[in-house]
Amino acid sequence: MVGALLCYVLAPLAQLIRRITGPSIDEEDDAAERCSESLRVETDARPVAWVPLGKDQTALLQEWLHGGPGGESVEERGANVDAEIPPREAEEAAMTWQQAGDQQPAAAGWGDVEEPSVSAWHLSAPAWTPSSQGAKEGTPPPVWLPAAAQEAPSGWQPPSHQQHHQNASAIDWQFMSPHGTPQPVGGTMWHVPGALGMNEAPPNMLWQFQNEGNITTNSGQLTRTWENTTQRQGEDAGEGSPFEFTVMSYNILSQDLLETNCDLYSHCQPEFLKWEFRFQNIMQEFDTWDPDIMCLQEVQENHYHQQFQPALQLRGYECIYKRRTGIKTDGCAVCFKRDRFSLVSQHPVEYFRPIVETLNRDNVALLAVLRPAPPQTPDSGQDHPTLPDILVANTHLIFNPRRGDIKLTQLAVLLAEIQQLLQAAGGDAKPCPVILCGDLNSVPESPLYKLIRNGELYYYGMPTWKVSCQEDSSHQVCPRKLYGPLWPSLLRITDSCQYVGVCEKKTPGLLRYGREFLLQLRYSAPALQRPEHLELIAGVTDSIPEPPGDGSERYVSVPEPEDELFCKRSPTTIRHNLHLTSVYSHYQPDTGRPEVTTCSSGYGLTVDYIFYSAQPLPDKSGKGRRRYQDGALKLLGRLPLLSEHDVWMANGLPNALCSSDHLSLLARFGLQPCG
């Protein structure tokens, strides 16, 4: 009762007041996070219009349409990436591509990995129906047509000739068999009322939970069916990949955070927000996709120990966990199938460092080096090719949309930890492929994303909110800006995101001191002593400097660090040497719409990623956007994400079947032997 009062009366009232008073600029983390919450809700109340793709988005989309991350580049084909393509053209191009390449994963594509019992996940939606041939019973539709304009969120206007596809009456979630025939999983099916406006909280009576086996109509389904990415790149799937495995990245929404921010979920039916209901659904999702490796974020510590770890152990997983520092109760978990991998080492990372201003938050990462266990065949033991270990990194970066400075420093620590571990795991002689998963709280057009993908970021003078582009804070009068270096040298991390020992050894006999170290000495006792024979000039040499009292004097007694940073710092740019590309393209190839990985109250965004090591191709364009081809890790497939429109057609997240405010990300890789 009190909870309901808080959620439905007091919280919206508080939001209204916050909206009227407006956000202030330099608030502490929690307060600033609350500000952004009000912004989210604002967007919720006034859905943003469909915006034409920007330059970056167009470049991303075009690159993907022309062959994916490893494919031929736009530049190579002589196209101008900077030219905006009209959305319609993009859509047509996407559809053409899709008709050519839209095939269900061929058996050959999956090599000798066990076929998951269920490999397609359908969400039936009333407002979207497949176009003609896709409507065939049991066939996942290749193209989705929009329904009536008033049902579509985000101001999306359907072309008039498509408007007759709007007469369905219920959203049915169902799991689909690999070949498209609807089959209930565990005899459970949820009926969700269709076509509620995106801001309407559904009255309880509209929702029914049914536990029965029969499947209703097959019309208008939204589908998540494994996409075979090797076909689009014109490659032979699976060949030369003796070891295939799947990876999931999933922010499962901690119950404590859900209850703390309950006004973000006021669009959800309360039954679907209960932990026991959500836990069952999340486990069901794990069972459905059956990933070999899972990188989970927002796993609540008590739920991990009491529920996830035991349940996953029974399913053949080994799990490791790192809780956030501070008072937040959630953290990151990495789980892997014991019969497919063994744990070589694990490395929990705490970003919190009290001496570094931009590392004063409680986020964490969890790194694991996993050794693949090739399948035992009758002739195994003889001449088995050596597979490299893989480094799996899982993280959840700070949410606060305005603290890009903190996000970048957390990312720098993560990249430094990864590079340190790579060195320890064999150095350059035996490169260990990296899979970096997580919720980075930054969108694909953001500078933070570009740093990961392109290996370099010029940040000088950039407003901190721009780093993640989660929201547009360009209205701020005096935004906090980035000036270098982003972190002090005493963090011992260079601007190439490497620990000092990794980048440059101290030259013996040569004493050079970093600026920060020297600044610490300003108010030390010897510096404040008046030299004996100093000529006395009134007002100049007779005064003793006063420590400013801003804390800078607190370092006075800090001894000389063992290995003070001798690498030259850049005040403008950070870099890294890991070559990482994204599993997802961030745009739906068939509609050109942005994919989303999260959608709680106001709007949908991509903030979750699976990055993996790839080989950079020479950049002929000079535009700085790297192109990659697959290396030791070959991307074989992925589970497509949904557009924001798709998600709202299911009444947003969490809903009856998806029990987090994020979608799960899944990729299938083939691992090539060393050498």
Residues 10-39 close enough to bind ligand KL2 by CB under 6 A: 33-34, 36-37
CA atoms 164, 167, 173, 174: torsion sign:
negative
Shortest distance, CB of residue 441 to ligand KL2, whole angstroms? 5
Shortest distance, CB of residue 10 to ligand KL2, whole angstroms? 16
124 part of the interface to ligand KL2, by CB under 6 A = no
Whether the Cβ atoms of residue 298 and residue 661 lie closer than 8 Å to each other: no
d(CA 501, CA 520) in angstroms, rounded, equals 22
353 part of the interface to ligand KL2, by CB under 6 A = no
Shortest distance, CB of residue 261 to ligand KL2, whole angstroms? 5
Residue 571: count of CB within 10 angstroms of its CB: 11
Residue with Cβ nearer ligand KL2 (147 or 257): 257
Q: Which of 391, 607, 632, 658 lies at the binding interface for ligand KL2 (CB under 6 A)?
A: 607
Residues 475-494 close enough to bind ligand KL2 by CB under 6 A: none
Shortest distance, CB of residue 399 to ligand KL2, whole angstroms? 3
Residues 6+ apart with CB under 8 A from 232: 67, 68, 71, 97, 101
d(CA 327, CA 303) in angstroms, rounded, equals 16
Q: Which of 122, 105, 102, 106 is nearest to 176 (CA)?
A: 122
Q: Judged by CB under 6 A, how many residues of this single chain contact ligand KL2? A: 13
Residues 587-606 close enough to bind ligand KL2 by CB under 6 A: 598
Residue with Cβ nearer ligand KL2 (58 or 441): 441
249 part of the interface to ligand KL2, by CB under 6 A = no
257 part of the interface to ligand KL2, by CB under 6 A = yes
Residue with Cβ nearer ligand KL2 (91 or 439): 439
For 46-111, where are the alpha helices, taking DSSP H only?
A: 55-65, 87-101
Residues 6+ apart with CB under 8 A from 89: none
Q: Write the DSSP symbol of residue 107.
A: G
Shortest distance, CB of residue 638 to ligand KL2, whole angstroms? 21
432 part of the interface to ligand KL2, by CB under 6 A = no
Residue with Cβ nearer ligand KL2 (299 or 490): 299
Q: Which of 195, 264, 332, 333 lies at the binding interface for ligand KL2 (CB under 6 A)?
A: 264
Residue with Cβ nearer ligand KL2 (166 or 261): 261
Residues 6+ apart with CB under 8 A from 382: none
424 phi and psi angles, rounded to 5 deg: -65, -30
Q: Which of 226, 399, 612, 648 lies at the binding interface for ligand KL2 (CB under 6 A)?
A: 399
511 phi and psi angles, rounded to 5 deg: -105, 115
Shortest distance, CB of residue 253 to ligand KL2, whole angstroms? 7
Q: Which of 241, 410, 441, 613 lies at the binding interface for ligand KL2 (CB under 6 A)?
A: 441
Residues 6+ apart with CB under 8 A from 37: 15, 261, 263, 264
Biggest alpha carbon–alpha carbon distance for the chain: 98
Residue with Cβ nearer ligand KL2 (396 or 626): 396
Q: Which of 382, 433, 478 is nearest to 247 (CA)?
A: 433
Q: Which residues bind ligand KL2 (CB under 6 A)?
A: 33-34, 36-37, 251, 257, 261, 264, 399, 439, 441, 598, 607
